[in-house]
Amino acid sequence: MQIALIAVFLSLICLPYPLSGLVGRVPDSEVEKIENRRLAKKPELSMDSLLDFPDEYTAYFNDHIPFRLPLVQTCSEIEYYLFRTPINNHVIAGKDGWLFYSNRKDGDSIGCYKGTLLFSQEELEKIASNLMHSKKKLKSKGIEFVLFIPPNKERVYPDKMPDYFGEPAVQNRVAQLVEYLRDNTDLTVVYPFDKLKEARSETPQYDIYWQTDTHWNELGAYIGACELLKPLGISLPDYREPSVEIVSSEKTVPGDLESYLFLGGKMNSGVDYTIAGLDGKNYVKDEWQFEQIYRAHSPEGDARKLFILRDSFCDSMADTIAPQFADSVMVYHHYYKNEMVMKERPDIFVYEVAERYLQELLDFECR
């Protein structure tokens, strides 16, 4: 009996491997798309990698266990749909299928929402000093400086948050900073919260953020881009004008929060919008790498050259902004180096930083 039990146990452990070979495995590229991350690669054993090899191989083994994806997806579906408890503790299940982000180590959106994450007076002064020094440095080179802050999704859709979070705090970090900078500096600060809130109120038939993603959609991004371009002297038509056509279609790419739950493609991610009926400026994408750099030129655009230090919120704004300038460069913040600005010699420098990443302003200074 003991031998039989051991044989059954070993069979259960080993059976998935030949069985997966027979039924086929989900390609790594498909798994990475669903989970919105890169799977661990099989490490090579060498004298140099000897100490790290056990941990690296464990990560590889865990990512490539046969039938891992369907098992994790099944578990996640049970947790989410039956118990309303997301399998990932960085995701909050809101109302009507809306998801929200709660990672304290990645900006702490909930701390921003609840007002528990505030700047001290010293921090406000340091940020103002950093930004004013950057403006002065850029101005000496003939470069205009603009700070652009996209709001967190939770702030725009508080009614979709679970009731136990309550109303968003009136005293919050982004309000603190915007008020302080406008009262104590001559910086151009663009924070399109009021326009986004107005859009929610006046056109409730449209979503302006993705239901299962941390970011705004193409319509929200268009509203944000219009607000950014105004102080630069460029006016685009309001999305409600008859000349502007909003074309809706089903969103086909899973939201990042949906992917964190291993439910990519299984949830209602919301509606995708295309903004049509603009002035028809053509532009050419010269380089388009999400985590590095966007570079484009437009023969019909404004003669000035635009440089944006950006995060992921700028991704859906790029197709609206790029046609407006003869040359535009948009650099992802992890890829950015100060010397890029002097090398590119732009006429306008925009620092785009999402609300949850405002802490980065404490360390930013354009040298």
Specify the higher pLDDT residue, 289 or 61. 289
Average pLDDT of the segment spanning 69-97: 82
**Mean pLDDT across the stretch 256-279?**
80
pLDDT band for 62, please (50, 70, 90 cuts). confident
Residues 198 and 185: their CA atoms lie apart, in Å, by: 27
pLDDT band at 367 (very low <50, low <70, confident <90, very high): confident
> What is the pLDDT at residue 77?
76
Residue entry with tokens 């105004």: 230
The answer for 267, left when phi > 0, alpha when psi is -120 to 50, beta otherwise, is: beta
Q: For the ranges 32-46, 169-183, 221-235, 281-295, which has the lowest average pLDDT? A: 32-46
pLDDT at 136: 96
Please report, for the chain, how many H helices and E strands are present, in that order. Answer: 15, 11
Looking at residue 201, its pLDDT comes to: 94
pLDDT at 354: 97
pLDDT average, residue stretch 7-32: 76
Whether 344 has a pLDDT exceeding 80, the answer reads yes
Contact criterion met (CB below 8 Å) for 326 and 282: no
Sequence-ordered list of residues with C-beta below 8 angstroms from that of 286, at least 6 positions apart, any chain: 295, 296, 297
Calpha distance 284→294 (Å, rounded): 11
Strand 325-332 and strand 293-297: pairing?
antiparallel
Which pLDDT does position 34 carry in this prediction? 64
Instruction: Give, in order, the Cα–Cα distances in Å from 138 to each of 143, 228, 249, 367.
Output: 5, 18, 42, 9
Q: List the structure tokens of 59.
A: 């990560």
Backbone angles phi, psi at 315, to 5 degrees: -55, -50
What does DSSP say about strands 325-332 and 302-310: parallel, antiparallel, or unpaired?
Answer: parallel
Indicate if the pLDDT at residue 36 is higher than 70.
no
10: left (phi over 0), alpha (psi -120 to 50) or beta: alpha
Q: In this predicted structure, what is the pLDDT of residue 72?
A: 76
**Residue 281: per-residue pLDDT:** 76
At residue 139, does pLDDT exceed 90? yes
Q: Is 201 helix (H, G, I), strand (E, B) or coil?
A: helix
Q: For residue 116, what pLDDT band results from cuts at 50, 70 and 90?
A: very high
Average pLDDT over residues 316-331: 95
Average pLDDT over residues 146-173: 96
Q: What is the pLDDT of residues 70-79, one digit of tens each?
A: 777 777 777 8
Average predicted confidence (pLDDT) for the chain: 90
Residue 33's pLDDT is: 66
pLDDT value for 13: 80
Give the pLDDT band (50/70/90) at residue 88: confident
